[in-house]
Structure 1
Amino acid sequence: MLNRVILIGRLTKDPELRYTPSGVAVTQFTLAVDRQFTAQGGEREADFIPIVTWRQLAETCANYLRKGRLTAVEGRIQVRNYENNEGKRVYVTEIIADNVRFLESSNREGGSGGNSSATREESSYGGEGRGNQVSRSNNNNNQDPFSDDGKPIDISDDDLPF
């Protein structure tokens, strides 16, 4: 059996970070994914797909993703259900992400507050169940890690893995 999904789209709003009663971080956001065909009026249609991330991946997404940002998500489809206040059974289909890639860098220094095109991927973080979670120091959360791109980096031969 196989349940894998890979999506590329843009966030419809900033991610919502919450914590479970036991203190586990969970982030929810919606990804707008263009369809490959156009409607009769020539306009492109999109699917709006709910995404859920957990633990360190959730905190990373909440810190770095913003509305309109081009993002790739890899995960699995999950269908859950619950009974609402009116006693009706409600079914929710969502993607549980275990890998999120930020495909655009944000232009924080430019003052526009929006996104700019990038020629490289900014970051890739693994998540739940894959054993490749990333730990980041919290003192650099407000700085663009690629703001010094193009300047020489001081690396000794001892730092290289080969």
Structure 2
Amino acid sequence: MSGINKVILVGHLGKDPEYRHLEDGVAVASFPLATSEIVLREGKRTEITEWHNVVLWRGLADVAQQLLTKGKLVYIEGKLKTRSFESREGVKKFTTEVVAENFKLLGRKTDFVSSEELENAKF
């Protein structure tokens, strides 16, 4: 039987996506995503934030570049992928990323339109 590699996250973008094209023209976007939970520590409610590196490829990267900005609440579906790279100092390092296969903006409709569109909108 094969294993399952499935990740579902709901969190806020830590910064605007970094968008670029590779040498072969493939689009890639990446950003940090913060997920938070409330835990009890010594009788006090404490918020713990975990940061995840999210990567989107091709058409999904194009859509993310148009829609996603720092602070937006987003639902991400994807899989974990670990890769190695060499640092500037020549040291081999490893990183684990969430390779997104799907995403959905969450929140109110007003979170996704500009202030100008809001002024002209008829609700």
> TM-score range with shorter-chain normalisation?
0.7 to 0.9
What is the rounded CA distance, in whole Å, between the counterparts of 1:58 and 1:12 in structure 2? 17
What is the rounded CA distance, in whole Å, between the counterparts of 1:109 and 1:12 in structure 2? 20
What is the rounded CA distance, in whole Å, between the counterparts of 1:38 and 1:59 in structure 2? 40
Q: Partner of 1:8 in structure 2?
A: 10
What is the rounded CA distance, in whole Å, between the counterparts of 1:28 and 1:110 in structure 2? 26
1:71 is the counterpart of 2:74: yes
Query: What SS class does the counterpart of residue 42 from structure 1 fall into?
Result: strand
Query: What SS class does the counterpart of residue 63 from structure 2 fall into?
Result: helix
CA deviations on 1:35-86 (whole Å, 9 max, x unpaired) are 3525556330110100000011001001001111000000000000122232
Q: Which runs of 4+ in 1 moved over 4 A?
A: 38-41, 147-150
Instruction: Describe the shift of the 1:8–1:149 C-alpha distance in structure 2 as closer, same or farther (beyond 3 A).
Output: farther
Q: Partner of 1:86 in structure 2?
A: 89
* Displacement after TM superposition at 1:88 (Å): 1.6
Preserved CA contact (<8 Å) 1:39 1:45: no
User: Highest Rg: 1 or 2?
Assistant: 1
Task: Output the TM-score relative to the length of structure 1.
Answer: 0.64
Q: 2:46 aligns with which of 23, 30, 43?
A: 43
In proportion to residue count, which structure has more strand? 2
Instruction: Describe the shift of the 1:109–1:62 C-alpha distance in structure 2 as closer, same or farther (beyond 3 A).
Output: closer
* Identical amino acids, percent of aligned pairs: 32
Gaps (5+ residues) in structure 1?
112-142, 151-162
| Aligned length in residues | 117
Task: Output the TM-score relative to the length of structure 2.
Answer: 0.83
In proportion to residue count, which structure has more helix? 2
What is the rounded CA distance, in whole Å, between the counterparts of 1:17 and 1:96 in structure 2? 15
* Displacement after TM superposition at 1:95 (Å): 0.3
Gaps (5+ residues) in structure 2?
none
